[in-house]
Every structure is written in C-alpha cells, then in structure tokens.
Amino acid sequence: KYKFEKIERTYFPDFYLKDLDIFVEVKGYETKKDKAKWKYFPLKLIILRKKEIDNLNINLFSPK
C-alpha cells in the first residue's frame, strides 16, 4: 500500500523472480505516481525501463 495524491492505493509489481527473490516492474515511461509506489514498496524491486531492455539487443519475437 502507498499514498498518492492523498489517496491510499495498492501496488502489485509485474512479476516475481523466485530464484532471485526479487520483484520486477517493466516500464516504458515513469510518472510521479510510479515513483511514489516504488518508494514505499517494502521488498526488493528492480525497475526495467524500455531503454534498458532495448540495450539488451534481444529480439523476443523472432525465432532463433
């Protein structure tokens, strides 16, 4: 739970990596609301931004 603009809200990251014991959020952009929820998330969380994913140079949609 976190508060944004005086409203209590609930946040659920995109997924959890059990072997690494870390939550992951995938974002193409950031808002003030995003930063608020990440700030108060009590567990390990990484944010994967579009720019970082693009830098991986992996095409997820083409066969190997």
Over residues 27-35, the mean pLDDT reads 91
Q: How far apart are CA 14 and CA 34, in angstroms?
A: 13
Among 3-7, 11-15, 51-55, 57-61, which range has the highest average pLDDT?
A: 11-15
Over residues 5-19, the mean pLDDT reads 94
Question: What does pTM read for this prediction?
Answer: 0.75
pLDDT above 70: residue 54: yes
Q: What is the percent of the chain where pLDDT is above 70?
A: 89
Enumerate residues 6+ apart whose C-beta is below 8 A from 35: none
Whether 45 contacts 23, CB under 8 Å: yes
Over residues 6-24, the mean pLDDT reads 95
Terminal alpha carbon distance of the chain: 41
